[in-house]
């Protein structure tokens, strides 16, 4: 296992895409944070909404590049997911899986080391994004305030990024196709789930619900997205009946990670069982 970890660390640090992807995630997340700072400052100047900068909810929103509020995709997670796709996809695209598996015949160790190293790699720039965004918020917004309630969205921001990285690895393992896995990891959370989520919720709210509203809770990417919301129940005011109740933080966290675990199970099994 140590050899596999060393190998994977050498792998991830010896290709440019690791740095490009992490750098883009960092830069674009910081760019979004700057834009959000401008939005908050503009709202403060208008004065209609009170002192937004003084509200820790909005400060958290800036620090997480919008992740703690609805409606904005987590750009950093997308880049880390693509990194995950490349971590495994390169093996198939360039035929390096044979070199990898002749050097390290223990496939479980190979997959575990890929997952561990990528998770550690992703967690580092995700943390850096939060720190950089905090600095940006302090720099651009007067009266910026964070409190204890800010920690949960920030922690789950990191976990969400790690989860997406793992999803990328496993989708590449399943598809054995880098392009296909990148498409899947982008389309699923950014296109497919929002459409399904909207249909299920609208169906429930229209009164023709037969319990479909609750199914929206089972969409893993959406559930993971909600774990970063501050407050958690941002959609609570949309509920009209028990049929559309948004599940709690624990349940949503579980749904997200069960989804990742299912991908790990399928991807891991196929990686071990299939021919190289």
Q: Is 6 in the site for another protein (CB under 8 A)?
A: yes
Q: Is 269 in the site for another protein (CB under 8 A)?
A: no
Q: Is 139 in the site for another protein (CB under 8 A)?
A: no
Q: Is 179 in the site for another protein (CB under 8 A)?
A: no
Size of the site for another protein (CB under 8 A): 26
Q: Is 24 in the site for another protein (CB under 8 A)?
A: no
For another protein, the binding residue among 71, 102, 208, 242 (CB under 8 A) is 102
- Cβ-count burial 144-160 (b if 16+ within 10 Å, e if not): bbbeeebebbbebbbbb
Among 66, 65, 39, CA closest to 53:
39
- Of the pair 190, 276, the CB lying nearest another protein is at 276
Q: Is 104 in the site for another protein (CB under 8 A)?
A: yes
- Of the pair 107, 201, the CB lying nearest another protein is at 107
Residue 65: left (phi > 0), alpha (psi -120 to 50), or beta? left
Q: Is 274 in the site for another protein (CB under 8 A)?
A: yes
Dihedral (CA of 142, 143, 148, 152) sign: negative
For residues 197 and 53, what is the distance between their CA atoms, to the nearest angstrom? 32
- Please report, to the nearest 10 degrees, the dihedral formed by the alpha carbons of residues 123, 224, 228, 217 taken in order: -170
For residues 62 and 261, what is the distance between their CA atoms, to the nearest angstrom? 30
Q: How far is the CB of 117 from another protein (least distance, A)?
A: 12
Q: Is 177 in the site for another protein (CB under 8 A)?
A: no
Interacting residue ranges for another protein, rule: CB under 8 A: 3-4, 6-7, 10-11, 14-17, 90, 94-96, 98-99, 101-106, 273-276
């Amino acid at each position: 296992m140590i050899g596999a970890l060393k190998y994977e660390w050498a792998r991830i640090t010896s290709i440019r895409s690791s740095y490009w992807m992490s750098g883009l995630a960092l830069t674009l997340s910081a760019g979004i944070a700057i834009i959000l700072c401008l939005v908050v400052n503009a709202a403060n100047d208008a004065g209609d909404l009170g002192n937004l900068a003084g509200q820790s909810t909005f400060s958290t929103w800036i620090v997480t590049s919008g992740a703690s509020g609805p409606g904005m995709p987590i750009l950093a997670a997308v880049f880390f997911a693509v990194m995950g796709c490349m971590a495994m996809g390169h093996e198939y695209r360039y035929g390096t899986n044979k070199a990898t598996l002749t050097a390290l015949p223990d496939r479980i160790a190979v997959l575990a080391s890929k997952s561990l190293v990528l998770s550690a790699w992703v967690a580092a720039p995700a943390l850096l994004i939060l720190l950089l965004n905090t600095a940006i918020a302090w720099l651009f917004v007067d009266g910026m305030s964070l409190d204890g309630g800010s920690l949960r969205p920030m922690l789950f921001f990191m976990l969400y990024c790690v989860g997406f990285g793992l999803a990328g690895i496993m989708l590449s393992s399943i598809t054995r196709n880098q392009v296909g896995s990148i498409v899947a990891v982008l389309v699923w959370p950014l296109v497919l789930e929002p459409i399904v989520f909207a249909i299920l919720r609208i169906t429930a709210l229209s009164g023709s619900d037969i319990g479909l509203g609750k199914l929206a809770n089972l969409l893993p990417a959406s559930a993971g997205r909600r774990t970063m919301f501050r407050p958690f129940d941002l959609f609570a005011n949309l509920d009209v009946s028990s049929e559309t109740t948004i599940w709690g933080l624990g349940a949503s966290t579980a749904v997200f990670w069960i989804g990742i675990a299912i991908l790990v199970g399928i991807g891991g099994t196929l990686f071990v069982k299939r021919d190289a």
